[in-house]
Amino acid sequence: MSYRTAPVEIREKLALNGRGVDEAYDFLTKCDGIEGTVILSTCNRTEIYITTRDIEKSKGAIKSFFEDYMQIKYEEISPYLYQPSCHDAIYHLFKVASGLDSMVLGETQIIGQVKDAYQKARDLGVTEGVLNTLFQKAIYVGKRVRTETMIDQHPVSVSYAAVELARNILGSLTDKTVMVIGAGEMSKLATEYLVQNGASSVIVSNRSYDKALELAERFKGKAVKFDEMEKYLLVSDIIISCTSANHYVIRWDNCSNALKKRDGRKIIMIDIAVPRDIDPLLKDINGVFVYDIDDLQNVVDTSYLMRQKAARKAQKIIDEEIEQFNEWLSCLYVVPVIKALRNRGEEIKQKELGRAFNRLGNLSEREMKVIVSMANSIVNQLLHFPIINLKEMALGNQGHMYAELTKKLFALEVDEEEQDKYVGFEIRD
């Protein structure tokens, strides 16, 4: 689920952070059919990546996750979900890591979020070889895109878009007072852009006063305690809020009186948190403008055209890397199966040749060669098209399924050490 498929009020129902992620992993790893999983949960998306050998069983596990763990009826959210499989999912993750699927094209934060999500899952021991390789490759692709296209050098991040929205309404940020609620990365970026664009005074409020103090000192601003936030609404022109709270931080009951005392003086309240920090009802107060993260989609900088140009170049890079990864994935599934299939053919051939020679008695060397040649020809012709077709199918979206089907049809046992040789794709830093 992402901003492309669901509004913020739906996305916030599926937002996972803190201990919620640990508990979600605990639930998912106990589901039958799921071999590995990574959860990517940001302001704009909640995505669950899994590796499985039984797609239908795993889809059932995901449905159970929503209904039994998240306590959400699947029918209510299914219209907002996208469910790509195998190569489509790989392609999607590469685009996400490269910033091509972000609300603000080419945003910088997402690659760090992908890296953190993967590291979290790996630290908890819920990934496996294929998933490790996929995320390492995705992170590499994201880095390569930014290095070769400079897509993130044109300042249009979510934080920058928030600043542009404030500028569009106030006309100028010069001599404006800004209060930033939350001291995370998004808040730091917003503060940096505000100062660069003329904000004269910065106030930082955070539940952890030490973190607020640290951010305020960085920009020569003022740190205030969280319970003192209300009185500073009287002197602020812009509010940027991005905390990890699971409820409104700026509410009608704790902030409406202060906002009414402004007597209609404009104050821009920009909520870039999911779940939302600011009660949208506050916009009913004269002079108060409230915007959430979805509103930022309409704020674009002139440099967005440059990002679109860079995105076209990035797409070519992703296509190259997808082809390389697909070749690796094909080898992972197909090569060990083909070897096992040939070994099975050789095993049957040798067994039947031994039985035939015992029954036929004394044979000349020429007769034995003719029989061996015939047995080789039969096995090779019988396996020729299955092997050729398996190689071709491996390059498609369902290649891994055909490999599994071949294993079942011929009762093949693939050597785990043989298959493990193909896990561990070399990722260039």
Say how far apart CA 257 and CA 262 lie, in whole Å.
9
Q: How far apart are the first and last CA of the chain?
A: 30
Q: Is 43 annotated in the active site? A: yes
Query: Other C-beta atoms within 10 Å of 49: how many?
Result: 21
Q: From CA 415, how far away is CA 394, in angstroms rounded?
A: 19
Q: At what angle do helices 399-409 and 304-360 cross, to 10 degrees?
A: 20
Secondary-structure breakdown of the chain: helix, strand, coil percentages, each rounded to the nearest 5: 60, 10, 30
Q: For residue 141, give both structure tokens.
A: 């692709």
CA atoms within 13 A on the CB side of 39: 25
DSSP 3-state assignment of 172? Answer: coil
DSSP string of 185-234?
Answer: HHHHHHHHHHHHTT--EEEEEESSHHHHHHHHHHTT-EEEEGGGHHHHTT
Helix or strand run (H / E) with residue 318: helix 304-360
Q: How many CB atoms lie within 10 A of CB 172?
A: 10
Handedness of CA 113, 116, 120, 122 (dihedral sign): positive
From 43, 242, 255, 331, active-site residue? 43
Where in the sequence numbering do the catalytic residues fall? Answer: 43
